[in-house]
Structure 1
Amino acid sequence: MRTIIEPFRIKSTESIHLTTPEARAAALKRAHYNVFLLDAKDCCIDLLTDSGTGAMSTAQWAAMMLGDESYAGSRSWKRFEATVKEITGFAHVLPTHQGRAAEGILSETLVKPGSVIPNNSHFDTTRANIEYVGGKALNLLCPEGLSTQDQSPFKGNMDVAALKDCIAKHGPEKIPFCMLTVTNNTGGGQPVSIQNVREVKAVLRQHGIPLVIDACRFAENAFFIHERETGYADKPLLEIAREMFALADGATMSCKKDGLANIGGFLACNDDVWAEQFRNLLILREGFPTYGGLAGRDLEAIAVGLKEALELDYQVYRHATITYLSDHLTALGIPIVLPPGGHAVFLDAKRLAPHIPPSGYPGIGIVNALYLEGGVRSVELGSVMFAKKDAQGNEQPSPLELVRLAIPRRVYTQSHFDYLIEVLETVWRQRNRLPAYRIVWQPEFLRHFTCHFLPCEA
């Protein structure tokens, strides 16, 4: 059949609060024009993130009833640990309450002032955790990844030549580990090929530098490999994931993405010394090593969800959803990152609102317009989130100005997407009237979460 249907039935629903334009304008003003500060009830279609916002399956809900809440050595921990080891092959697994906790433990343990951490593209919390302890987070994205219109199949790849230059410039002693983010969220949800992982690992092996995978969306990356990389079309997604993890020395994971859970994560590795260091800090920061800040029922839900994310039918449906949205936007002429990513459609804010310079944060103009027009909450991935300061303290814009429409897993139906397309079309037609914004207050780290904006004419 040509029509791809959802591989599930809906057994429970949640009501949506349909707001008026006047109510949305008032809500956005109260939130200082930062959609992170909106109340969720005031968002009709919430695409702020796909992290922890999905719908769990009946198997996950049933598993939660088996939750063993013992402080140490619970049955739920054993099931969680066994599942993670089955998928990743890592010797040591440490649960955390979410991915950024794993990043924090990794950074606080291994990163020193002056350390350099290369990545294809660091996401916001990864970069912040590295910089918080005095490290330098470097993005070494392949050149095609910087073009929103390049149709290369693996635009999330790391630039291997740039990695070699980085090691030569800084010295391997300054690089405690290298990271690969799969899929590459910052770069438009683009996948990383197995071949690129192999090439990166080969370079690192020559210098004794470990490789750590940011595995938040490992299952979606495995699906892209299945669909696009030669020799993988007949391999199960689990086998592809295992091959990818076998090339790494460790991984951080937010199970709020491809764990299909509402909370949770883990830090995993093969090195015994690393594991002991991680474990000591885990006890201090998160909890005992067999629960790591999670309830037993959460461990059970994740153990089921990690397997469900690797089901081919689920991934086919998930990607068909993204394709449905991206095809309609492309037909309307709305500029998006091509090819579309695995968990979101990314609007190209530079091309959608060319009259707004990076200093006026075009992504924020688009994000706020989508909310005002239809109650759609999205997120800017541009110079608010990723700008850096030079030696003189001047803000250097992000190379990409994007707006991410992150699709929660198993939540919205086709009619929701049709509504979303109407909202986007209306904003597209009014794009020349979108205002620039300025920041009037910001914190030191991760400013996009809580900073305050004003339209430039205000």
Structure 2
Amino acid sequence: MRAYRAKMVESIRLPDREEREAALDAAGHNVFNLDSDAVYVDLLTDSGTGTMSDAQWAAMMQGDEAYAGSGSFTDLEAAASDVLGFDRIVPAHQGRGAENVLYGSLVEPGDVVPNNTHFDTTRAHVVEQGGEPVDCPVEGALDPGASGDFLGNFDVERARAVVDEVGADRVPAVVVTLTNNSAAGQPVSVANVRAVREFCDEIGATFVLDACRFAENAHFVREREPEFADSTVAAVAREQLSYADACIVSAKKDGLANVGGFVGIRDAPAFDDLFERAKQRAILYEGFTTYGGMAGRDLAAVAVGLREAVTDAYITDRVEQVRWLGERLDEAGVPVVRPVGGHAVYVDAGAMCPHLRSEEFPGQAVVCDLYREGGVRGVELGEFAFPGADRPDLVRLAIPRRTYARDHLEHVVETAAAVADHADDLPGYEVVSEPPMAELRHFSADLRPLAPSPGSEE
């Protein structure tokens, strides 16, 4: 049962098929280039696309816009301390700004950074600093047909082999992403985080949690890890974050805001120097340390959002809506990764389009046809987004928080089922132009179909 009701609405429309086909062609068959008013149900990302609560809007009206010493920053500090257990934070305009601040302060040329699975901007920031990102997912994490409660976990033994090869002095940090976005949004157990904590102590590395979806992960821990069956989501979140030396938070996810983020750094003498380096880097790239690229009103909204994210009513509704979509897609014959994650349903485009090789981007073929068929925008997370990474060809349908109703998701199911029905006829794609950094090509590259698109006059 939904735990909220609407106080504001926005008109949307489904452009006709001819409009959609023209828009897709003009966008270079890259849905990042589509105008939002040309999209009916937008599942490109859950980052910053959700609906804020009345309490968040009320807090925004009282935001302190002071450049230095903002009272809204003090409110955010208190929320980060209460919810996440980090008393020292460095604000940034969003998660990738926080990544720039932290990894720019931690990583040097020649360093190696293990992660359960790097997402796009995390990988790019490590590379930008001259480091080498190394993925250490557990067995089955990248297999759409696998099953397990915590397929998002970090493989400590795989990381230990990396350290044995390169030396501990080249591994300044170990990162665990909650939930594991690149592994179909699968959760990470508290037991696994404890094991990574011990591993970091062994090799003298800083333990970083990418906590953008900390509340959704905590919900799964409570469901699946017996130790926490009687705990609140808030208690699980604090426990899981307590093992990290630093964290990165995109407030556009489980901060329930439309912009914002921060770095959290443990309040201990061993991390005083890192905290100072991060603050100085933030001043250079983000803004002064008590606003970090956010307006005071945004700081206020994030402070409220962090607290709302760990309420049982909110998080249960959130995860159940995503689960409902996954179950309906599965029933409609659309191959999806199970179990369904907390923020998105991942469609197995490789299984849907077995006639297309990975280098022909079957995920992008499905993404384009979802838009062409029903104005639904998803995103490819396969060979196009992660070139050469040997990952499955998936399409992520990320659901914005507190935004879409059941009938919108029913339209997504109908659209995806229609795509699946003629998936054997979908053409592959090739890249026409792309930016220099391969890790970021999916944001702006242009593509073209290898054969005429269905419904075209070519």
TM-score w.r.t. structure 1 length? 0.96
For 2:247 and 2:66, locate their aligned partners in 1 and report how far apart those are by CA, in whole Å.
26
Aligned position for 1:451: 445
RMSD (Å) for aligned C-alpha atoms: 0.9
Could you tell me how far 1:397 is from its partner in structure 2? Answer: 5.0
Aligned position for 2:399: 407
Contact in 2 for aligned 1:80/1:299 (Cα 8 Å): yes
- Please tell me the residue identity of whatever aligns with 1:323: R
* Mapping 1:27-66, distance limit 5 Å: 27-66=23-62
Q: CA, structure 1 residues 397+84, in 2 after alignment: closer, same or farther (shift >3 Å)?
A: closer
SS at match of 1:369: helix
Contact in 1 for aligned 2:98/2:261 (Cα 8 Å): yes
Aligned position for 2:272: 272
For 2:41 and 2:142, locate their aligned partners in 1 and report how far apart those are by CA, in whole Å.
29
Aligned position for 1:86: 82
* Mapping 1:147-158, distance limit 5 Å: 147-158=143-154
Contact in 2 for aligned 1:120/1:184 (Cα 8 Å): yes
Could you tell me how far 1:165 is from its partner in structure 2? Answer: 0.7
For 1:282 and 1:92, locate their aligned partners in 2 and report how far apart those are by CA, in whole Å.
14
Structure 1: segments with no counterpart, 5+ residues: 388-395
Is the aligned partner of 1:438 residue 2:430? yes
Could you tell me how far 1:175 is from its partner in structure 2? Answer: 0.6
Alpha-carbon deviations, 1:353-389, whole Å to 9, x = none? 11110110000000000000000000000011111xx
For 2:390 and 2:433, locate their aligned partners in 1 and report how far apart those are by CA, in whole Å.
20
Which of 232, 237, 243 is the aligned partner of 2:233? 237
For 2:105 and 2:122, locate their aligned partners in 1 and report how far apart those are by CA, in whole Å.
14
Number of corresponding residues: 446
Aligned position for 1:391: none
Contact in 2 for aligned 1:117/1:176 (Cα 8 Å): yes
Is the aligned partner of 1:328 residue 2:320? no
For 1:23 and 1:44, locate their aligned partners in 2 and report how far apart those are by CA, in whole Å.
12
Contact in 2 for aligned 1:96/1:264 (Cα 8 Å): yes
Structure 2: segments with no counterpart, 5+ residues: 453-458
Aligned position for 1:390: none
Aligned position for 1:393: none
Is the aligned partner of 1:424 residue 2:416? yes
Aligned position for 1:357: 357
TM-score w.r.t. structure 2 length? 0.96
SS at match of 1:425: helix
Aligned position for 2:456: none
Aligned position for 1:392: none
* Mapping 1:131-150, distance limit 5 Å: 131-150=127-146
Q: Percent identity?
A: 46
- Please tell me the residue identity of whatever aligns with 2:184: G
For 1:18 and 1:89, locate their aligned partners in 2 and report how far apart those are by CA, in whole Å.
44
Alpha-carbon deviations, 1:389-436, whole Å to 9, x = none? xxxxxxx35321100000000000001111111001100101101110
Which of 192, 212, 219 is the aligned partner of 2:208? 212
- Please tell me the residue identity of whatever aligns with 1:312: D
- Please tell me the residue identity of whatever aligns with 1:251: C
Aligned position for 2:250: 254
For 1:311 and 1:398, locate their aligned partners in 2 and report how far apart those are by CA, in whole Å.
38
* Mapping 1:222-233, distance limit 5 Å: 222-233=218-229
For 1:83 and 1:397, locate their aligned partners in 2 and report how far apart those are by CA, in whole Å.
37
SS at match of 1:380: strand
Contact in 2 for aligned 1:156/1:187 (Cα 8 Å): yes
For 1:207 and 1:138, locate their aligned partners in 2 and report how far apart those are by CA, in whole Å.
16
For 2:311 and 2:82, locate their aligned partners in 1 and report how far apart those are by CA, in whole Å.
15
Could you tell me how far 1:332 is from its partner in structure 2? Answer: 2.2
Aligned position for 1:373: 373
Is the aligned partner of 1:124 residue 2:135? no
